[in-house]
Amino acid sequence: MPLDASFVGRTWPAETYEVSLEKIREFAAAVGADDPVHHDREAARQAGHPDVVAPTTFPVVFTWPATRRVVDDPALGLDFSRVIHRDQTFELTRPLHAGDVVTSVVAVDEIRELAGNDVITFRVDVADADGETVATTRATLVGRAGDEDGEA
Amino acid sequence: MSALFDASAGDQLETRTVTITRADLVAYAGASGDLNPIHWNERVALEVGLPGVIAHGMFTMSLAARYVADLAGDPAAVVAFTSRFTRPVVVPDDDAGASVELGAKVTDVADDGTRTVSVTATFDGRGVLGKAVATVRPR
């Protein structure tokens, strides 16, 4: 079943996320990022940051749940059990750090069909408390086509 | 000192081999909030036609981002990273885990010193990240 093309260009209400020291530490530890700027406030400050710095891929912690809300909207027509995460992009205007309170706005950039599979690209614009853009992320998901008999 | 910021366009940087175990996937699932069972539950992974439990593409990408950050000598320097997830990394139920080799090559140096870096990740002799490019800016 094709996806609802009217989702292209839509945005959803902003979601707020507070970036914390402990979550940065947990994520950094999980990906083996042992640089002290991810773990030690003093080391981060000595490196010129206001607080511990989030790894480049950290925004996925809040951009994925924000995206997932749209993925799970039945009106879109995407069966999550058949979804493959195909591409991911992170663009940071500045490093995120503990103490940041950010808002994420999800948008659907593109929907198309490729060899019978549904391909959808989500963009998340992330702004800080001053309204300045701090990051933009993009995720392209592929909904694999169902079986020949039409069963998903 | 920075291997990456000392490098010129065309330079290949030192590779790194990382291992991924089931325990790593559980830790990443918790830290990232991505609890999809195909990344920790063999039964579910097999049911959906996968060869076994596979790593989150985002986990492999995060390991690659950390590798580039280490080459730069500054985690905050990695200002952009994009990748395609081309093949799964199958993680066995043993203590050795899956072995992934990471590589990086500088493809461009901008006037302000920003490096464009082509990143590779190889598992079982084949690439698992496609068109992976990091942008690394000196502070």
Mean pLDDT of chain A: 93
CB count, 10 Å around CB of A115? 7
Residues of A in contact with B34 (CB under 8 A): 60, 64
Q: Which of residues 57-116 of A touch B (CB under 8 A)?
A: 57, 60-61, 64-65, 81, 84-92, 95
Q: Half-sphere exposure of residue A111, counting CA atoms within 13 Å on the CB side?
A: 18
Q: Model pTM?
A: 0.95
The ipTM assigned to this model is 0.97
pLDDT tens-digit readout, B39-60:
999 999 999 889 999 999 999 9
- Along the 139 residues of chain B, how does pLDDT read in single tens digits? 699 999 999 999 999 999 999 999 999 999 999 999 999 999 999 998 899 999 999 999 999 999 999 999 999 999 999 999 999 999 999 999 999 999 999 999 999 999 999 999 999 999 999 999 999 999 8
- Burial track A95-110 (b if 16+ CB lie within 10 A, e otherwise): bbbbebebbbebbbee
Q: Which two tokens stand for residue B106?
A: 């500088």
Q: What share of chain A is helix, strand, coil (3-state, %, to 5)?
A: 25, 35, 40
Domain boundaries, chain B: 3-20+57-136
Residue-wise pLDDT for A16-25, tens only, equals: 999 999 999 9
Q: Which of A30, B29, B58, A93 is nearest to A38 (CA)?
A: A30
Q: Do B31 and A26 touch (CB under 8 A)?
A: yes
- The correct CATH number of B3-20+57-136 out of 3.10.129.10, 3.40.1160.10, 3.40.50.720, 3.90.180.10 is 3.10.129.10
A31, A51, A64, best to mutate vs chain B, most B CBs in 10 Å: A31
Q: How far apart are CA A54 and CA A147, in angstroms?
A: 42
Instruction: Nearest by CB to B65, from A26, A29, A56: name it.
Output: A56
Q: For residue range A62-96, list pLDDT tens digits in order.
A: 999 999 999 999 999 998 888 899 999 999 999 99
* Spatial separation of the C-alpha atoms in residues B40 and B22, rounded to whole Å: 7
Contact check, Cβ <8 Å, B65/A30: no
